[in-house]
Amino acid sequence: MNNLNLSTQFIVHPSGTLRGVLRVPGDKSISHRAMMLGALANGITQVSGFLEGEDTLATLAAFRAMGVHIEGPHQGQVILHGVGLQGLQPPTTPLYLGNSGTSMRLLAGLMAGQSFAVEMTGDSSLSRRPMRRVTEPLTTMGAQIETTAQGTPPLRIKGGQRLQGIDYHLPVASAQVKSCLLLAGLYANGMTCVTEPAPTRDHTERMLTGFGYPIQRNGPQVCLSGGGQLQATSIEVPADISSAAFFMVGASIATGSEVLLEHVGINPTRIGIINILRQMGADIHLHNEREIGGEPVADILVRASSLHGIHIPEEQVPLAIDEFPVLFIAAACARGETRLTGAEELRVKESDRIQVMAEGLQTLGIDAQPTRDGMVIQGGKIQGGVIQSYGDHRIAMAFTMASLCASNPIIIEDCANVATSFPNFVYLAKQAGIDIQLKVTGN
Ligand SMILES: O=C(O)C1=C[C@@H](OP(=O)(O)O)[C@@H](O)[C@H](O)C1
Ligand SMILES: C=C(OP(=O)(O)O)C(=O)O
């Protein structure tokens, strides 16, 4: 996000192969949760590998605004002087959360349990995103929250309410809603249980365990009781598989490529990208598998291969939810038809990722037909063209990878938000062999 009326373009020329050893930045989901739990723990939490992206910095700034002393970030190191679950101070201004849905939805759960009122705002994209999915169950727990008439931000949370535990069945597979309710449950009377319709990322559950908070898992259900304490710990954040995904697809589609992605989180609830690409014929090997701070990690070796279209299994959708923009690029470069169904959630991300990706692929000469809940893509020859990313970081990075199969340059508009999740994307892309220029113009 910038507020100086600057416009940021990527100009990407077709280039040959992707090569090298790359370490992409820290996992966004884990970085957010490390700030939240570290701030609310008793004692000092040391975090390394923190993602210094705009989204996670928004979460960090929110806790500073509520009186938490936080040192850093400095080269991914953050030291949080936890204030305990009851130790936050009322912020003096609304909490501005930029582009970050994760910040707003998870903080909604935490803020519902505070004794003071909070207002949370965001940029134009976040201000369009649906919040009833969190405000409705939080209201059932006893919270008092106002949204716009459309159920979008700003959120005004009254505070000072006694929350009651809830037994909630998620209507959509969403880790943000699950996490929001578990975090509210820390402040609730009795037990809070959340049942998910399909597995979603479980970083909140793993990290709560790491902070010594008892949780019970029973198949699709996870429960905790309010009234406990978080004990400070140290956290090493692995590299983000959602950022690595761009290079996994890039290396798969660019002839002669070989890329080693180091220290990437391979939590089973996040590896849809590996499962789907392998089913399409990708050459992906995991090396040096290990566990770090309760999260599995590996080095991922990807070599070029000849991809073919598939019908993406629906159970993989929540496990790859942020990777579909770049998976659509893989599909455009694959032989035959790729069909995605069961992914209507893509319509309510930073942009409508079904519509925006279909539009961009069509601009590049690909037959991509959007459907209510997915897309049908015929692999083909990618031409050059000018793509609108609509300020969505993952759209901008996905079309950068399309250049590896393109016949002519691709210009991508409105790319500043790449800094929300992957601030050094252009640098790493260049290092790996992509011919990318960043052009910033004033208007
Ligand atoms: O919990 C999280 O950290 C996230 C959950 C996902 O959102 P949903 O829960 O809305 O699917 C994902 O798209 C987002 O980037 C991060
Ligand atoms: C959907 C995303 O993030 P958020 O919901 O936190 O804005 C994303 O990073 O792709």
Task: Count the Cβ atoms, other than its own, within 10 Å of residue 222.
Answer: 22
Ligand nearest to the CA of 180: 1
Q: Are 204 and 180 in contact (CB under 8 A)?
A: no
* Numbered residues of the known binding site for 3-phosphoshikimate: 28-29, 33, 174, 176, 322, 349
Top pLDDT among 437 and 6 is at 437
Q: Are 240 and 265 in contact (CB under 8 A)?
A: yes
- pLDDT of 9-59, one tens digit each? 999 999 889 999 999 999 999 999 999 999 999 999 999 999 999 999 999
Closest-CA residue, ligand 1 atom 10, reads 174
* Numbered residues of the known binding site for phosphoenolpyruvate: 28, 101, 129, 176, 353, 394
ipTM: 0.99
Residue 2 has pLDDT above 50, yes or no: no
- The DSSP annotation for 382-427 comes to B--EEEE-TT-HHHHHHHHHHGGGBSS-EEEE--GGGGGT-TTHHH
C-beta 174 within 6 A of ligand 1: yes
Ligand nearest to the CA of 397: 2
> Average pLDDT of 191-219?
98
Question: Hey, which of 176, 243, 322 would you mutate to test ligand 2's pocket, going by the most ligand atoms within 8 Å of its Cβ?
Answer: 322
Residue 68 has pLDDT above 50, yes or no: yes
Number of residues that this document lists for the chain: 443
CA distance 256 to 269: 30
Q: Note if the bond before 154 is cis, omega within 30 degrees.
A: yes
Question: Hey, which of 99, 132, 178, 201 would you mutate to test ligand 1's pocket, going by the most ligand atoms within 8 Å of its Cβ?
Answer: 201
Q: Give me ligand 2 centre to Cα 69, in Å.
A: 26
Residue 108 has pLDDT above 50, yes or no: yes
Residue 276 has pLDDT above 60, yes or no: yes
C-beta 204 within 6 A of ligand 1: no
- pLDDT of 243-270, one tens digit each? 999 999 999 999 999 999 999 999 999 9
C-beta 102 within 6 A of ligand 1: yes
> Average pLDDT of 85-112?
98
Residue 335 has pLDDT above 90, yes or no: yes
For residue 441, the cross-strand partners are: 7
C-beta 320 within 6 A of ligand 1: no
Predicted confidence at residue 3, as pLDDT, reads: 52
Ligand nearest to the CA of 393: 2
Alpha-carbon distances, residue 119 vs 96, 154, 182, 270 (angstroms)? 9, 7, 21, 31
- pLDDT of 373-419, one tens digit each? 999 999 999 999 999 999 999 999 999 999 999 999 999 999 999 99
> Which residue segments constitute the domains of the chain, with CATH numbers given?
6-26+238-442 (3.65.10.10), 28-236 (3.65.10.10)
C-beta 65 within 6 A of ligand 1: no
Closest-CA residue, ligand 1 atom 11, reads 174
Closest-CA residue, ligand 1 atom 14, reads 102
Residue 1 has pLDDT above 70, yes or no: no
Q: Rounded to the nearest 5°, which phi and psi values hold at 249?
A: -70, -45
Predicted confidence at residue 6, as pLDDT, reads: 86
Question: Hey, which of 102, 107, 174, 200 would you mutate to test ligand 1's pocket, going by the most ligand atoms within 8 Å of its Cβ?
Answer: 102
Q: Is the pTM of this model over 0.95?
A: yes
Q: Which residues are catalytic?
A: 322
For residue 290, the cross-strand partners are: 297
Strand stretches in 166-215, DSSP E = 167-169, 191-195
